[in-house]
Amino acid sequence: MIHFFYFVLLKFFSIFGPPPFLLFSSLLFLLLSIPLPPIVTLQFTMSLSPTYVQPVIPTEGRLGHLNQEQIEKLKQFWERLYDIFDGKTPFDQTAPSSFKGQARDEEGDGAPAQKSGWFGRSKSASETSTAPVAPRFTGKDLYKAFWKLTMMDHPDLIVLKFIRARKWVLDDALKMFLNALKWRIVERLDELVELSDVELDAKYPKFIEQMRIGKGYLRGADPLGRPMSVVNTRLHHKADQPAETIHRFTLYTMECGRTVLPVGSETVIVIFDLSNFGLDNMDWGFVRLFVQCFESYYPETLGVCVVHRAPFVFWGLWKLIQPLLDPVVATKFVFTRNNAELHKVIPRERLPITHYDGLDDWKYQYVPASEGENDCMKDLTRKEELLNERQALETKFDVMTRAWIKEAGGKNSDERDEIAKEMREQYTRLSPYIRAVSLYMRWGVAVDGEVNWTYNVKAEE
């Protein structure tokens, strides 16, 4: 009964906010004074499994490792996709169900909602304003969104992620993929990466502040080449910035993460640092977005999610989060109680000395934009030339793929692979004209299509 009361209480606080200090303190004291049943105690001591084994790079169903049956499935997927792009096959033209999220506070002044009432909760702009009319999409819209999504990646690599996520059931994979393309259009992700830090801050108040304090950032990679994203939850307070700013900052970091994925690596590591985490740091909007992104819009991208130093209060929240997770995604969560357990997941050489008792003498620092760093974007003539060059390669890949689909048997087309390589190289030349310089470019990590993490490793004492 106490176990049930505990989770109900946490759910109540997470929705309505904590009551005045004295009442909250007395309730918490009462709760902690009652012995917890064994099942709850076990959950609060959850830690890294002693049987944890470092993963290896998977090859099953991946590009370059497809069997004949999988190649045929890939061909069928491309054929159905082209029929939709060409307008031959009808499809659901409405926005994905998450479109309602666009009414967060985007049309407001961007200021955090003022607290009112006993529980400090007031209606947000999204609760009082009328939701925007959901757009409708054509095959051409999705075709354009598809090629913007590919960036420097092999197109097969992109679609295979969705096919694997739906266990090679093509109907399900196609529906998932189309929803992801529509979502990218609705979220205006292309615009997000085109804007400079200063422009993002002007459009989404306190955007730069998220980067300045190091609330979330990308740093280093594990031995498998998987980039690591660190989220410092203690630095997040929902009322400190507009909901739209956190939403955009999260998506911006996701898109930046794609630029630091080296060739041959498809997944990332996320470290949720819960040191000094409290209920005030909890943000259900962010949790929903995080889950939605890795399950629906960036599938097969989460390699492992490390929940580090989770405090007592977290486990009640975890009981509410866990049901939201896809079973496959849930298996990728690892819990580490201390730095020693974290070192079993990520080598000390790849972790900073500060916070994680690592060996890398590195400290996060936001490097602001420099004057003229995005001057390339002003050269519209050169930009147009490179966009035309890119479009020619896309058309060439389309022609080759349509011919490959009709071939009986055979392997994946070597000619298509060569074109994909050309597209990757060409994107490195196009990128400065369509993407603003990011923090990771200023760090010298993502430059000219190469990923260069450097570690200043100190000898173990």
Whether residues 25 and 159 fall in one domain: no
Q: Specify if 123 maps to a domain.
A: no
Whether residues 335 and 385 fall in one domain: no
Whether residues 16 and 75 fall in one domain: no
Q: Is 420 left (phi over 0), alpha (psi -120 to 50) or beta?
A: alpha
Q: Specify if 111 maps to a domain.
A: no
pLDDT, block means (10 residues), the chain with 461 residues: 45 47 39 36 46 75 93 97 94 70 43 37 45 78 97 96 97 97 95 96 98 97 94 96 97 96 91 95 94 95 96 92 91 95 95 93 96 96 98 97 86 88 96 97 92 90 65
Q: Report residue 308 as tokens.
A: 């580090």
Put simply, whether the predicted model's pTM sits higher than 0.85 gets the answer no
pLDDT at 386: 98
Whether residues 96 and 166 fall in one domain: yes
Structural domain count of the chain: 3
- Mention every residue, 6+ apart, whose C-beta is less than 8 A from residue 361: 352, 353, 456, 457, 458
Determine how β-strand 333-336 pairs with β-strand 268-273: unpaired
Q: Specify if 370 maps to a domain.
A: no
Q: Specify if 305 maps to a domain.
A: yes
| Residue whose C-alpha is closest to residue 363's, from 226, 220, 207 | 220
pLDDT at 131: 56
Whether residues 231 and 277 fall in one domain: yes
How many other C-beta atoms lie within 10 A of the C-beta of residue 247? 20
pLDDT at 408: 77
Q: Specify if 272 maps to a domain.
A: yes
Domain that holds residue 85: 46-103+135-365+437-461
How many other C-beta atoms lie within 10 A of the C-beta of residue 311? 12
pLDDT at 461: 65
Q: Report residue 425 as tokens.
A: 């190289």
| Residue whose C-alpha is closest to residue 303's, from 228, 218, 251, 250 | 228
Whether residues 429 and 441 fall in one domain: no
Whether residues 157 and 222 fall in one domain: yes
Q: Specify if 199 maps to a domain.
A: yes
What's 317's domain CATH number?
3.40.525.10
- Mention every residue, 6+ apart, whose C-beta is less than 8 A from residue 99: 134, 186
Whether residues 180 and 279 fall in one domain: yes
pLDDT at 91: 86
Whether residues 341 and 405 fall in one domain: no
Q: Specify if 244 maps to a domain.
A: yes
Q: Specify if 373 maps to a domain.
A: no
Is 417 exposed, middle or buried (CB count within 10 Å of its CB: 0-12, 13-18, 19+)? middle
Whether residues 22 and 86 fall in one domain: no
Whether residues 396 and 317 fall in one domain: no
For CA atoms 440, 444, 446, 448, give the dihedral sign.
positive
Whether residues 429 and 300 fall in one domain: no
Quote the CA–CA distance of 250 and 252 in Å, as a whole number: 5
Contact of 352 with 342, CB cutoff 8 Å: no
